[in-house]
Amino acid sequence: MAYQEIASTEDELASVRIEFGGTGPELLDQATPMEIILGESLLTAGLQTSIRYQAYIHNIPPRNIDSFKQSPMNISINRPILSKHGLPERLDVSQVTYRCDSRKLIDNNIEEFVLHACDQTLLNDAASLVSKQWKCTIPSAVVREVLGTCAGARAMDIESCEPARDYIAENIHPFQVVAQQANVALAGGNDPSFIHYMTYQNLGTHHFRSLYSLTRQSPVMNYFFTEIGTRAGYALPFGIMTYQFPCDFDLLSDVLNGIGPSGADLTSYSSFNPLTKMFNVFGGGSIDCGIGKGVAKIAMSNEGSAQQQNACPDYSKLYVQKRQARMGLLEQNKIAFRLTVPWNPILNAGKIIRINLQNKEDSRTLNYGSGDYLIHSLTHKIKYGGFATTTMDCVSRTVGAGIV
């Protein structure tokens, strides 16, 4: 087993232990991890971890890079200063090394390469297919069965949802089944904002949650902007090191996705039932310039004939109209707030943070931009020496109500 331990004598810096199972110690002999990057996103059903190494080329015995392939990569990151503030100080990562790339010569004696690791469920998903039928089953039950049985998920956070419907998985990958269930699942009976994503919690947790429920969580951290400098501010777990506002509003993009200026619905839905030969339009609008509204959707439906067909109603009229608009709120060009803070394992995609930007003229007044934000994606970055930061892209809490 090859392992490295990089300890720090300062509490605010991070200590890291890296271990590759099933390998010999020579693999990491005279190899230095220069940077570790861990990423999460609400739009990604997997976790990606990378370590950038610089290593001496001419060691004996020579290093066989291929030995890293399929080796368990275990990383433990610890930052003691966090425990002094009542926060968790440690993050453990257990994944599978699946790729080595970007190998290049730095000088005559040193080379650089990057090792990539992913969760085992991502490999299981690529190697598995699902071919099964469910009768009148709610989406969350289908998701739990597929993730647990076919993808081998160790930890799951699945929100119960409606409606019960008939479903056939036609020999597709497990994550594709989950994506199809996310497209039709409804929170509270009418909110089609379900997403499948993954975080580093509990060595890797699969989440199947709605934006509606995510935005109703309490903040896990209260952040304040400090002006005492990046290095000095690094010791403050609640301090913002840098921040920016990529997009405050984008009316044109909202309208193209089916959201009006005040959050009103601008979509319409046309359904066709091949059994009854009925054509229905939901979400009307003026017919002076066309039928329906700005964003029109068409789908096959068993509207009015479900009982005759001995099937569950498909409820397509409830999710087809709003799905595009809700997912449009998570597009990269809708990121409302981006910030970098000292590394903290309590942060995850899908959690709420509170931002306090105090006014210098009146400390009781908060500047525009203060408020609660949903973490859309984040990147943990740990550099050689223990300097560790977390950069987060966030969207406004109002996405839970369909507003940017």
pLDDT at 54: 96
Nearest to 211 by CA among 40, 376, 321: 376
List pLDDT tens digits, range 92-130.
999 999 999 999 999 999 999 999 999 999 999 999 999
* Residue 299 structure tokens: 């789908």
pLDDT band (50, 70, 90) for residue 283: low
pLDDT at 394: 96
Nearest to 303 by CA among 281, 336, 335: 281
Q: What are the phi and psi torsion angles at 121 (to 5°)?
A: -65, -30
pLDDT at 56: 95
d(C-alpha 99, C-alpha 204), whole Å: 19
The per-residue pLDDT of the chain, averaged, comes to 88
d(C-alpha 203, C-alpha 117), whole Å: 13
Nearest to 271 by CA among 225, 319, 307: 319
pLDDT > 70: what percent of the chain?
87
For residues 191-223, b (16+ Cβ closer than 10 Å) or e, as one string? bbbbbbbbbbbeebbbbbbbbbbbbeeeeebeb
Cis status, amide bond into 163, omega within 30 of 0: yes
List pLDDT tens digits, range 176-210.
999 999 999 999 888 899 999 999 999 999 999 99
d(C-alpha 343, C-alpha 90), whole Å: 10
Mean pLDDT on 318-328: 74
* Residue 293 structure tokens: 């509204």
pLDDT at 191: 85
Secondary structure (3-state) at 182: helix
List pLDDT tens digits, range 29-78.
999 999 999 999 999 999 999 999 999 999 988 999 999 999 999 999 99
pLDDT higher for 275 or 354?
A: 354
Q: Is pLDDT at 9 greater than 90 in this prediction?
A: no
E strands along 163-293, which residues?
A: 165-172, 194-199, 205-210, 221-225, 239-240, 242-244, 267-273, 278-282
